[in-house]
Structure 1
């Protein structure tokens, strides 16, 4: 075992110990504690300078005070997400079902009733871990695309946890998971994906008017394979209560030139993200390196 393996193992053990601690207070109290820590610690961290720069670049019309409000609220949400991770199983209990409201779910049910599947697309909004949980609770079998963790022990644990909670097939991002993704879609299943991270091998669309390297995979599947794309947003309401809103299917022009249509649909998806962020900017994860830094 190398020093790196030992480091990874210790990190995984520390993470599991922290989750045991986070579980002790119960969901509501844990969420509140996480929010309190996030609000008081997060804005003081050096990494937060990135969030301030990105907010100012995306929405230059905001004052410094408005940016600080967004940053503080963002950290409140992130702190809650961290502590809520130990309680994801609570959302499966019938007595806790009220915590997760789904708006627009009838769009997916009507599509599924016709014997069809598709992709449920969102960004890192609210508690983004709840998208596949909601898909499972609504009765949609399928998969979830994820970014593998650098730590192999943590990655293995996360895969097992998510699989146990949602019953969904865990699909790693990139070429490695492409086969599972295509198989599920051909079997008319649903696949959840967060598509708002910068992708070096993506195509250049725009977001807030800024060039943004974006994955072309959803648009390519829609244009070339007829895959249905349903955008969605996860919104924190109050405490550990959420609303997931599913929006109408993105229309694709089957007669258009494929490369141009893929770029257009990708831009539509970015426009969707931007609109949701503008509605509630504190609900998004501004620490992402979404754009090339200037």
Structure 2
């Protein structure tokens, strides 16, 4: 479910939004490689530590990867924040992103089936996680004439959410706000033979428990449910940042066969885990993916409810 939006916002929200707008405008005035490196540095060294994102990344790494040394966790956390800053400013330059991805090489075992499905008018549902730049593969397809819809998670700050949502629409329509209404809108779009993208690696109390990086993580099966209801090809993809920090490898993996929704999401999770194991600094460890204390509290309530007289 989407979080409840404060549609008016307060003074602190307005100030934070204006500050961020100014930073984005300043960065966009710079040459692309310079702005990308600058935003990576800003989030890694200034914004991330001040906002608590670095501490959250370190805590998540300690929880899911306890065998890592403190130095290894710090190195990964820095890479995570750097990638987050780069991704944000890359995705705020939609025309530039489309132009850069127009000639990007598209690889992976899923490509032939995608092209065949498109030729037949069969719907396609792409799934991915917050890894690398998750918008780069969609931009690569949109730049080639594909029309791909999606869902977005609204920001808590209503002022920031206004231009964030507009930016999402600028890349490719239709785009729907996360929630029941938005999910139904995306379902109708795909049911007509359309294509869409869903990111599945966020915490949801309504999800089914699927181990993620060795720890239970409630995961929605809505992506698999939509694929089953519409007959859509179910394709995991990844926009993997190259070592130069600027370019991307775009990979569309083999489609996940239709079956039990939880098993489909388990396989999608396994594909994402493999990418994270290969390069942990590219996944957004700043997300509250597991919320172990909340999970434990909910489990205690369920256990208490199941105790008979």
- TM bracket, shorter-chain basis: 0.7 to 0.9
- Segments of 5+ residues of structure 1 without an aligned counterpart are 254-260
Residue of structure 2 in register with 1:256 after alignment: none
Of 79, 103, 107, 1:103 maps to 107
Does residue 226 (structure 1) correspond to residue 225 (structure 2)? The answer is no
- Which residue number corresponds to residue 268 of structure 1? 267
**Hey, what's the Cα distance between the residues in 1 that align with 2:254 and 2:96?**
29
What is the number of residues matched between the two proteins?
A: 283
2:131 matches 1:157: no
In 1: Cα distance, 2:40 partner to 2:103 partner? 17
Conservation of the 8 A alpha-carbon contact between 1:99 and 1:242: no
Change beyond 3 A, Cα 1:6–1:200 = same
What CA distance in whole angstroms lies between the structure 2 residues aligned with 1:282 and 1:224? 35
Q: 1:4 to 1:43 in 2, by over 3 A?
A: closer
Distance 1:3 1:149, change over 3 A: closer
RMSD: 2.4
CA distance in 1, matches of 2:107, 2:147: 19
Q: What pairs with 1:60-71 in structure 2 (closer than 5 Å)?
A: 60-71=66-77
Counterparts of 1:56 and 1:224, CA distance in 2: 39
Residue 59 (structure 1) shift = 2.3
Q: How does 1:129-168 map to 2 (within 5 A)?
A: 129-164=135-170, 166-168=171-173
TM-score if structure 1 supplies the norm length? 0.87
Distance 1:228 1:246 in 2: 12
Q: Distance in 2 between matches of 1:52 and 1:6?
A: 31
Secondary structure in 2 aligned to 1:120?
Answer: strand
Q: Pick one of 256, 265, 288 that aligns with 1:250.
A: 256
State the SS of the aligned residue for 2:97. Answer: helix
CA 1:73 to 1:8, structure 2 compared with 1: closer, same or farther past 3 Å? closer
* Distance verdict in 2 for CA 1:228–1:50, change over 3 Å: same
Counterpart of 1:231 in 2: which secondary structure? strand
1:186 aligns with 2:191: yes
Moved more, 28-37 or 275-284: 28-37
- Equivalent residue for 1:21? 26
Distance 1:178 1:72, change over 3 A: closer
Do residues 283 (structure 1) and 282 (structure 2) align?
yes
Deviation at 1:9, TM superposition (A): 4.0
Any conservation in 2 of the 1:142–1:184 contact (CA below 8 Å)?
no
Q: Distance in 2 between matches of 1:84 and 1:160?
A: 15
Aligned counterparts of 1:265 and 1:161: Cα–Cα separation in 2? 30
Q: Is the 8 A contact 1:195 1:215 kept in 2?
A: yes
Instruction: Structure 2 unaligned segments of length 5 or more: list them.
Output: 1-6, 294-309
- 1:193-212 equivalent positions in 2, closer than 5 A: 193-212=198-217
